[in-house]
Structure 1
Amino acid sequence: RESSAPTLDLQRSVQAVLRELSAQAPALQSNQGMWRWSLHKKVERDPGKSPVLVRILLRELEKAESEDLRHVIIPLLHTLLYVLTKATGITEELYRRTYKFCTRLLTLPAPYCTVALDCAIRLKTETAVPGTLYQRLVIAEQNLTSELYPYQERVFLFVDPELVSPSVCSALLLEIEAAQVHQTPEACMRHVVSHTLQAALGDTCHASALQRKLKAIPRRALERYFHAVVAAVEQMASEPNPSREGHLERLEEIYCSLLGPAAAARGSCCGDPLQDPQPSIPLPSPHITFHLWTDEEQLWKELVLFLRPRSQLRLSADLEALDLQGLWPDRELARASMLSTDSGIERDLPAGADELPVPGSPELERAGLQRKGGIKKRVWPPDILMPACWDGPQGLHRRTGMPSGDGELLPGVSRLHTARVLVLGDDRMLGRLAQAYHSLRKRETQKFCLTPRLSLQLYYVPVLAPEEPASCRHSELRELATFLGRADPWYQNTVNTLCPAIHKLAEMPPSLDTSRTVDPFLLDVITYYVRMGTQPIYFQIYTVRIFRDLSQDPTEDIFLTELKVKIQDSKFPKDGFSPRRKGAAEGPGAELSICYQKALLSHRAQEVTGSLRATGLVLKALPTSDTDGSGPTHTPPSAAPVTDHTCLNVSVTEVVKSSNLAGRSFSTVTNTFRTATIQIQSQDQRLLTLLLDKDSRRTYRDVVRFEVAPCPEPCSGAHKSKAPWLGSHQPEVDRTKAKPKPLLMPINTFSGIVQ
């Protein structure tokens, strides 16, 4: 069996993936990213190969463990889990063997133990209740209505039309629309019922007859069977020690009810796999909405629309207590003062249910207690009411998991929705995403309406504009993608290689033959990324205060990757700045005063001040190589964010004056240093130009002075502590001395940072 042609074919495909990860096969560079995709397509077209592929992947994982080949462990784990999510017919022995392997990996350091723990948690439920992973994924991604699993997910694909060509936008939109045409709610419910019954019943399930029956029954009956299957799976999965035998009995009853006892028995004994091969059950792509990013508030608005419920439900008391003003951007929510005349005591209530006592009446005189004054209660417009229960996964960067109340931020308020925001573009697009993320977090300190309800996860696929073909420009605009590829090799092989493939497929003419099934490569790879990319890497956002006039308040902005400073040819007006110092040497550039705090591993505060003549500066928030250990904050997914080593890499092009027999000459030299904060001011009549995140649309001219520092969490250190354990005798100055927490933006990868 092991030497059969299908097995050898799958073995060759797995070995191709492993050779690609070893980076020792230059001939395979042109096919990067294709091997994993083609491997999954092989078992998708022939589901009977899934158990064979699971055994091959498990054997390679055990070999990597014994030989300490850690660079292939996480890619193989993700590949194996993706196969198990789609597959049917996997034996209990294979599930348990895979689960035991994942538990052995928990002794490894992060990120290996983190990914292994995530896989082990999913496999434990899948082993006891087969089909759970597939069912939950489809219900959440397709927003199918289910009371027992009320999670909803959506992928928001944002593209800047000025940075991505129309052909790329059209190619992506065509693939998304073509896939979603066949993903009706009825089709998705049929897939869930068929997959769950096949995964649980195995060979006793006549798959072809089952799918024919599901297509023939009316929608009302289909919904009834769908809810019955979901209830059987979720109720069994919620038990502390689920019984596989009891689960099979419940699903056999549903199966017999569908096909009838006679047909079910005949199918289980007469089904010939050679004459009636196992039909494929597709895993529908997630619900993706395509957006051209043209509005600064667009991300906020789309997330709010996603949170709007389908049915109008009333808020719970805990939600009503929150200040959610501004939830709907286009309408102002008014406050109304309402006078309460009851005391909250039953005997003081008026006789009529809806009638208030008339002043001077016996009812009012008998009232022993009476509230005075008024309380403010918000009047909610009927079209923005939120559900009373928000039950979802915990943490900002945790994937939607089992339905539990562990993710509650407030009583009765948990995360039910998961928004996967995927941006396409280069470093300029990521700068816009950082602006939107900072604005969203700033809004939350005032309104606090998305954070308790929404698990927000950010993804990035690098795509370059066609007018930037030069190799130097190519590397300059993909610095963050290059860093992600160095940090996570599986991201490099799966996502970074999409950039040339996207342009190549976008230039191909669309197929006019609608009857021919075409595998949507771009959509499949994006889907794989948003499903399996659950480990974030955190990036520090920096704030810059820009002074055009020292007598006026500065302008504030933020940047994520780079701040470039150029010296303008224009000068200050004579009455607006001090004249040049006598004896100052003429030459290129401008005289700058610099004050910065050194980034030291000892964490000691050491300030450096000085002045120099320079022609320009570049402040980069990314390390130049993976050996640069003192770069910005990139936190392993299993640890709390560490901000002590956050620093900027500053490169100054300094002008050096020299005198010789030929006269006075000038040369330039580049000096580099690392800093946590920096302030720079022009000391002569030259003005400065600032360029943020390489985006010409974010250019500030005629700048006199600017200051750069890590951006703090909005209001993280602005409010005084209200902790009850701090006594009133505690000085106020001590309560506000806490160092503000930095604002970190997470971008999801497959592994996080691989050490």
Structure 2
Amino acid sequence: MESSDVDLDLQRSVHAVLRELSAQAPALPSNQGMWRWSLHKKVERDPGKSPALVRILLRELEKAESEDARHVIIPLLHTLMYVLTKATGITEELHRRTYAFCTRLLTLPAPYCTVALDCAIRLKTETAVPGTLYQRLVIAEQNLTSELYPYRERVFLFVDPELVSPSVCSALLLEIEAAQGQQTPEACMRHVVSHTLQAALGEACEAGVLQRKLQTSSRRALERYFHAVVAAVEQMASEPSPSREGHLQRLEEIYCSLLGPAAAARGRCGGDPPQDQLPGTSLPSPLITFHLWTNEEQLWKELVLFLRPRSQLRLSADLEALDLQGLLPDRELARASMLSTDSGIERDLPWGADEPPTPGSPEVERARLQRKGGIKKRVWPPDILMPGSWDGPPGLHRRTGRPSGDGELLPGVSRLHTARVLVLGDDRMLGRLARAYHSLRKRETQKFCLTPRLSLQLYYIPVLAPEKPTASRHSELGELAAFLGRADPWYESIVNTLCPAIHKLAEMPLSLDTSQTVDPFILDAITYYVRMGTQPIYFQIYAVKIFFSDLNQDPAEDIFLTELQVKIQDSKLARDSLSPRRRGVAEGPGAELSVCYQKALLSHRTREVTVSLRATGLVLKALPAGATEVSGPTHCPPTAAPETDHTCLNISVTEVVKTSNLAGRSFSTVTNTFRSANVQIQSQDQRLLTLLLDKDSCRAYRDVARFEVAPCPEPCSGAQKSKVLGLSSHQEEMERTKAKARPLLMPINTFSGIVQ
């Protein structure tokens, strides 16, 4: 295919991606999410098209900048960066043009400047040291051993079998296993060596000969070349002003040692390029572990097991001093210790100071066996606070080489691991994830097992049941996915369109012919999401305190993320026990409720309102109702101060209105909506309530007389509690009040965050 035909074909594919983002000309439902995948597949099968695609994408980005078409900037920029990560043969001029474009975007508001800054930092390193992005990505995702780049990543895929059908679980598991079956450490090391040398040497590298040589190399020789290439790249990337010429010279020496000086001489002399000049060097999919969700403790246990192997840890002396590796598999991984009765004074020993016992004597053996180890008390530095978010430092979990900055909890201690937790399901699954996240954060306040060395990233792919006659129920369970799609159009195009594709995959019969090459569309889409989805949207978690009608039953505490539904129980016992005089009070539907709430005002002044009304039910929603409220008050950035936080619930009350006329009494219902961050609701008569959290029937509470809802506070760490010691009672109370006012927000990663 000629160059002009290649450009036209790629141009049509790029325009198809742009049309999918346009509300005026949406793509067909069967093609949604396919255009971006097919575009990347074209350059994956023919890497020689990569420079042409980079030029086309860059031209479209510059056009969008001049026309102020901001809705396509972030999708095109992510597509361009994904191509640059995998491509070879990209000229320095194209890298510099892309870098200059990203620096111009820094003048735009968030999230455009945020995404552009991340891309600009990565491009600066890639321009000076070609192949850095690919190498770091493969090393981290495949857990390859490297002293110079010790970062590790893993994708934890959680599926709740109660919410997702067994056929879907089996189809996903088979696709993951099929794709990762050939991703051995040796194959990944060959990919790194081949791609780095091709990216740096360009046309001087005989790619086909190089790959055949690597295929026939022994494991020991392959490891030697792998570590040599990684050392050359990382040492050059760590320099303040890396020299591209010096980097090329070092890699040329490795290339000569691999193929011999004759091959390098042919490249320098500009000989005829071989026919197999640019064979494809694939980018392996990340290491994905498949888990069936059983309980909320499973997330914490899997993360601890991810960090447990000491052979994979490269920790500093400060972290070793904290003894964070002393993890036990049971008893909540708490360190067991015994109180020492030894004072440490020499005269208190069983023998006298003037007559030391002889070695091996019974006294020495008895003392050695009976002496207990003392309690190892952990002393935290006074300025160590519980981090407000588990977003790791950008230089670590985004592989940009950015300085760690405030990402270090202790001097010299950085997060070397990134856990990307991906959940599939509906709003009920997110409610269960929120409980696990809250439990994990609360556990971390007691012992910093994960926080100092783990960056936790949360991802969500909606997998709803196929639409049946109850289509309304289908839409109700996908409210959070719909919100994410309105907030981020690229999320809507890439992630929300996976639901029908996943069900279609599950319905396909299993292929017994293992020789066929199948392009795993769903796995590729998941991989693209977890790699490029680096911008979180923060969701407020709400705490519920529930009081039951039985006074002997202790109050229950729980949390919810999306919705709390209140239903009125039909209590025949309550109606029969009423006296004839009071029987008329209970007539009619619903129950008398007392609602006390703080009204949400733009002035942030506290205004408490108490009303009594008869209602048949209430719904407390934490998500905005429509597209006009995408940037609404429930999703503020984690840096927002409590006094400027507009966090509030949308409370809908189905109120009963009684009217009297000549025909008698009649009842009608009307829905009233108001906003509040805190609310207390109590039943005034003997009609009890049923609470349903996050639309989950497994999280229902019956026989409720009263409940309170408020934003869930960030768990307070031991360091924060010890910090208030030594202050006056007034100052201590102020410090604790200030600490409690900080809300707990759960981040879910998208491609751009909330696009205004």
TM-score, length-scaled by structure 2: 0.90
Q: Which runs of 5+ in 2 are unaligned?
A: 358-371, 379-390
Question: 1:748 maps to which residue?
Answer: 749
**In 2, Cα distance between equivalents of 1:271 and 1:735:** 73
Question: 1:533 maps to which residue?
Answer: 533
Deviation at 1:206, TM superposition (A): 0.3
Deviates more, 1:416-425 or 1:542-551: 542-551
Question: 1:484 maps to which residue?
Answer: 484
Residue by residue over 1:558-600, the C-alpha shift from the partner in whole angstroms, topping out at 9 and shown as x without a partner, is 1100011111112566999999968625101111111111111
**In 2, Cα distance between equivalents of 1:322 and 1:7:** 58
Residue by residue over 1:195-247, the C-alpha shift from the partner in whole angstroms, topping out at 9 and shown as x without a partner, is 00000000000000000000111000000000000000000000000000000
Tell me if the contact between 1:191 and 1:281 (Cα under 8 Å) persists in the aligned partners. yes
**In 2, Cα distance between equivalents of 1:490 and 1:82:** 14
**In 2, Cα distance between equivalents of 1:701 and 1:271:** 81
Question: 1:589 maps to which residue?
Answer: 590
Deviates more, 1:242-251 or 1:632-641: 632-641
Tell me if the contact between 2:337 and 2:374 (Cα under 8 Å) persists in the aligned partners. no
Deviates more, 1:684-693 or 1:332-341: 332-341
Question: 2:338 maps to which residue?
Answer: 336
Residue by residue over 1:92-128, the C-alpha shift from the partner in whole angstroms, topping out at 9 and shown as x without a partner, is 0000110011000000000000000000000000000
Tell me if the contact between 1:636 and 1:752 (Cα under 8 Å) persists in the aligned partners. no
Instruction: Give matches, 1:55-70, under 5 Å.
Output: 55-70=55-70
Instruction: Give matches, 1:447-458, under 5 Å.
Output: 447-458=447-458
Q: Indicate how the Cα distance of structure 1 residues 284 and 124 shifts in structure 2: closer, same or farther if over 3 A, else same.
A: same
**In 2, Cα distance between equivalents of 1:427 and 1:171:** 22
Question: 1:260 maps to which residue?
Answer: 260
Q: Indicate how the Cα distance of structure 1 residues 630 and 590 shifts in structure 2: closer, same or farther if over 3 A, else same.
A: farther
SS in 2 for 1:510: coil
Tell me if the contact between 1:620 and 1:648 (Cα under 8 Å) persists in the aligned partners. yes
Corresponding position: 1:376 with 2:378: no
Corresponding position: 1:714 with 2:707: no
Question: 2:607 maps to which residue?
Answer: 606
Deviation at 1:359, TM superposition (A): 3.2
Question: 1:424 maps to which residue?
Answer: 424
Residue by residue over 1:689-739, the C-alpha shift from the partner in whole angstroms, topping out at 9 and shown as x without a partner, is 111111111111111111111111112799657269x86586543333325
Question: 1:208 maps to which residue?
Answer: 208
Question: 1:103 maps to which residue?
Answer: 103
Question: 1:625 maps to which residue?
Answer: 626
Tell me if the contact between 1:416 and 1:454 (Cα under 8 Å) persists in the aligned partners. yes
**In 1, Cα distance between equivalents of 2:638 and 2:89:** 33
Residue by residue over 1:275-306, the C-alpha shift from the partner in whole angstroms, topping out at 9 and shown as x without a partner, is 32410000000000000101331101100000
Deviation at 1:163, TM superposition (A): 0.8
The total of aligned residue pairs comes to 724
Question: 1:25 maps to which residue?
Answer: 25
**In 1, Cα distance between equivalents of 2:580 and 2:149:** 71
Residue by residue over 1:44-98, the C-alpha shift from the partner in whole angstroms, topping out at 9 and shown as x without a partner, is 0000000000000000000000010000000000000000000000000000110
Tell me if the contact between 1:692 and 1:698 (Cα under 8 Å) persists in the aligned partners. yes
Tell me if the contact between 2:204 and 2:268 (Cα under 8 Å) persists in the aligned partners. yes
Deviation at 1:14, TM superposition (A): 0.3
SS in 2 for 1:618: strand
Tell me if the contact between 1:395 and 1:455 (Cα under 8 Å) persists in the aligned partners. no
Corresponding position: 1:360 with 2:353: yes
Question: 1:353 maps to which residue?
Answer: none
For the aligned residues, what is the CA RMSD? 3.1
Question: 1:301 maps to which residue?
Answer: 301
Deviates more, 1:147-156 or 1:567-576: 567-576
**In 2, Cα distance between equivalents of 1:579 and 1:394:** 69
**In 1, Cα distance between equivalents of 2:135 and 2:118:** 18
Q: Indicate how the Cα distance of structure 1 residues 571 and 674 shifts in structure 2: closer, same or farther if over 3 A, else same.
A: farther
Deviation at 1:458, TM superposition (A): 0.1
**In 1, Cα distance between equivalents of 2:648 and 2:719:** 23
Question: 1:402 maps to which residue?
Answer: 401
Tell me if the contact between 2:486 and 2:630 (Cα under 8 Å) persists in the aligned partners. no
**In 1, Cα distance between equivalents of 2:395 and 2:573:** 47
Q: Indicate how the Cα distance of structure 1 residues 691 and 86 shifts in structure 2: closer, same or farther if over 3 A, else same.
A: same
Tell me if the contact between 1:408 and 1:415 (Cα under 8 Å) persists in the aligned partners. yes
Question: 2:188 maps to which residue?
Answer: 188
Residue by residue over 1:538-558, the C-alpha shift from the partner in whole angstroms, topping out at 9 and shown as x without a partner, is 000011111113735310011
**In 1, Cα distance between equivalents of 2:267 and 2:3:** 31
Q: Which runs of 5+ in 1 are unaligned?
A: 351-355, 365-372, 380-391
Bigger proportion of residues as helix:
2
Question: 2:48 maps to which residue?
Answer: 48
Deviates more, 1:464-473 or 1:90-99: 464-473
**In 2, Cα distance between equivalents of 1:658 and 1:162:** 45
**In 1, Cα distance between equivalents of 2:483 and 2:101:** 30
Question: 1:465 maps to which residue?
Answer: 465
AA matched with 2:172: L
**In 1, Cα distance between equivalents of 2:147 and 2:562:** 44
**In 2, Cα distance between equivalents of 1:118 and 1:417:** 19
**In 2, Cα distance between equivalents of 1:665 and 1:134:** 71
Report % sequence identity: 78
**In 2, Cα distance between equivalents of 1:99 and 1:641:** 37
Tell me if the contact between 2:642 and 2:741 (Cα under 8 Å) persists in the aligned partners. no
SS in 2 for 1:519: coil
**In 1, Cα distance between equivalents of 2:275 and 2:312:** 51
Tell me if the contact between 1:595 and 1:607 (Cα under 8 Å) persists in the aligned partners. yes
Deviates more, 1:395-404 or 1:407-416: 395-404
AA matched with 1:431: G
**In 2, Cα distance between equivalents of 1:501 and 1:289:** 21
SS in 1 for 2:420: strand
SS in 2 for 1:569: coil
Question: 2:508 maps to which residue?
Answer: 508
SS in 1 for 2:627: coil
**In 2, Cα distance between equivalents of 1:441 and 1:277:** 52
**In 2, Cα distance between equivalents of 1:151 and 1:91:** 28
Deviation at 1:687, TM superposition (A): 1.1
**In 2, Cα distance between equivalents of 1:579 and 1:418:** 67
**In 2, Cα distance between equivalents of 1:172 and 1:465:** 16
AA matched with 1:567: I
AA matched with 1:539: F
Corresponding position: 1:649 with 2:686: no
**In 2, Cα distance between equivalents of 1:659 and 1:99:** 73
Instruction: Give matches, 1:122-271, under 5 Å.
Output: 122-266=122-266, 269=269
SS in 2 for 1:713: coil
AA matched with 1:394: P
Tell me if the contact between 2:195 and 2:281 (Cα under 8 Å) persists in the aligned partners. yes
Residue by residue over 1:404-457, the C-alpha shift from the partner in whole angstroms, topping out at 9 and shown as x without a partner, is 553210234321110000000000000010010000001001122111111000
Tell me if the contact between 2:679 and 2:710 (Cα under 8 Å) persists in the aligned partners. yes
SS in 2 for 1:512: coil
AA matched with 1:156: F
**In 2, Cα distance between equivalents of 1:298 and 1:336:** 29
**In 2, Cα distance between equivalents of 1:579 and 1:265:** 107
Tell me if the contact between 1:142 and 1:185 (Cα under 8 Å) persists in the aligned partners. yes
**In 1, Cα distance between equivalents of 2:395 and 2:708:** 30
Deviation at 1:499, TM superposition (A): 0.7
Deviation at 1:630, TM superposition (A): 8.0
**In 1, Cα distance between equivalents of 2:397 and 2:28:** 34
**In 2, Cα distance between equivalents of 1:691 and 1:396:** 42
SS in 1 for 2:139: helix
**In 1, Cα distance between equivalents of 2:577 and 2:634:** 40
TM-score, length-scaled by structure 1: 0.90
**In 1, Cα distance between equivalents of 2:352 and 2:579:** 75
SS in 2 for 1:694: coil
Deviation at 1:266, TM superposition (A): 3.2
AA matched with 1:147: E
Q: Indicate how the Cα distance of structure 1 residues 418 and 678 shifts in structure 2: closer, same or farther if over 3 A, else same.
A: same
**In 2, Cα distance between equivalents of 1:501 and 1:640:** 41
Question: 2:365 maps to which residue?
Answer: none
Q: Indicate how the Cα distance of structure 1 residues 213 and 560 shifts in structure 2: closer, same or farther if over 3 A, else same.
A: same
Question: 2:362 maps to which residue?
Answer: none
Deviates more, 1:142-151 or 1:703-712: 703-712
Deviates more, 1:637-646 or 1:134-143: 637-646
Q: Indicate how the Cα distance of structure 1 residues 469 and 92 shifts in structure 2: closer, same or farther if over 3 A, else same.
A: farther
Deviation at 1:477, TM superposition (A): 0.6
Residue by residue over 1:138-196, the C-alpha shift from the partner in whole angstroms, topping out at 9 and shown as x without a partner, is 00000000000000000000000011111111111111101111100000000000000
Question: 1:284 maps to which residue?
Answer: 284
